Amino acid sequence: MTNAILALEDGRIFRGVSFGASGERLGEVVFNTAMAGYQEIITDPSYKGQIVTMTYPLIGNYGVNDEDAESYKPFVEGFVVKEYSKIASNWRSKKTLGDYLKEHNIVAVEGIDTRALTLHIRQAGELKAVLSTTETDEKKLVEKAKASLGLIGRDLVKEVIHPKKFEWNPKGKYRVVAIDCGIKYNQLKELAKNNCRITVVPPSTTSKEILQMNPDGLFLSNGPGDPSALQHIVKTAQELIGKLPIFGICLGHQMLGQAFGGKTFKLKFGHHGGNHPVMDLKTRKVAITVQNHGFCVDIDTLNKKEIEITHINLNDQTLEGMRHKKLPIFSVQYHPEAAPGPRDAEYLFGKFVDLMK
């Protein structure tokens, strides 16, 4: 067994044992409250730049399969668990989680008191950190964490996107152009289930090029990093307002908020997990939602004459959904495609198709 150290920028040290690749990784440490779905979490491009701590105490018991990846490779900088299950028991399992992480060069640690770490993050906020199996000097690791870049002001989208545009479900009826900012595969699957033909394009694609594809609608995907650093994508979305029905999820919602003139800010410890209550302000119904974001659109900066607030987070009253009052445009901060998590909000993909109809 190889020892591993998680060092936070404020000097807090957590020691454990490695079960992934050897090496050293820098990132912002966050916690995820999902009880299952670790493969989807590890492969979610929105986690680029972050070291993920799972609050559920036993991880890895059903292994890794070929179907549940949310992108073409894992994107977490590091992975932290209380206890790693070396036995993987599931009929779909192809390999253990530890072998999968080693294969993709992801540093991981078990044996850490994840309750203490989670409580520390809740009190201190998300902190820059370093996870290492190679350095034993705690002071050096803390200094490395302090000197790391963090997430604010960084464009991490360019590090997770697919290199070329591609088609998904080419026999679908409704033509959707999806701007890939780190798109999850289950978003594409949900659009396909609603009879959409999706052309996934890189964020460098211009509004003119998108319109030349003659789409019925525009989809703005999730993705990592600071939304305020993505003004080139915000500009593209801005230029397409009023010309197409638009649906945005997570980072797509944040970029749409900026396109409407709003501002974004960083949350203290973000929303990461599958148990976040969100209220629809029109129906007063509450959905339990999947969330993964560290930034949020500031409600007070939006023009209420044009924009209607549709959904609110019941934990901290932050913005979870909005729509344009006159144009066929709406977005949500949470993940209606789940993967992993509850599927209370899947109906939103059908709502997007209704706008295109």
- DSSP bridge partners of 140: none
**Collapsed DSSP state (helix, strand, coil) of residue 238:** helix
Closest CA to 179 of 242, 222, 213: 222
Tokens standing for residue 21: 């690749």
Question: CA angle 43-46-50, nearest 5°?
Answer: 90
d(CA 198, CA 328): 19
Which of 196, 250, 253, 311 is catalytic? The answer is: 250
Q: Is residue 324 among the annotated active site residues?
A: no
CA dihedral 161, 167, 172, 178 (to 10 degrees): 30
Tokens 């997770």 label which residue? 160
Q: Is residue 335 among the annotated active site residues?
A: yes
Burial (CB count <10 Å: 0-12, 13-18, 19+), residue 167: exposed
Find all residues with CB under 8 Å of 116, minimum gap 6, and list them.
Answer: 14
Stretch (H or E) spanning 354: helix 347-356
Closest CA to 275 of 313, 245, 249, 221: 313
Q: Which amino acid is at 211?
A: L
DSSP track, 273-316:
EEEEEEEETTT--EEEEEEEEEEEE-GGGS-TTTEEEEEEETTT
Which of 40, 126, 320, 337 is catalytic? The answer is: 337
Q: Is residue 250 among the annotated active site residues?
A: yes
Which of 271, 272, 311, 335 is catalytic? The answer is: 335
Q: Which residues are catalytic?
A: 250, 335, 337
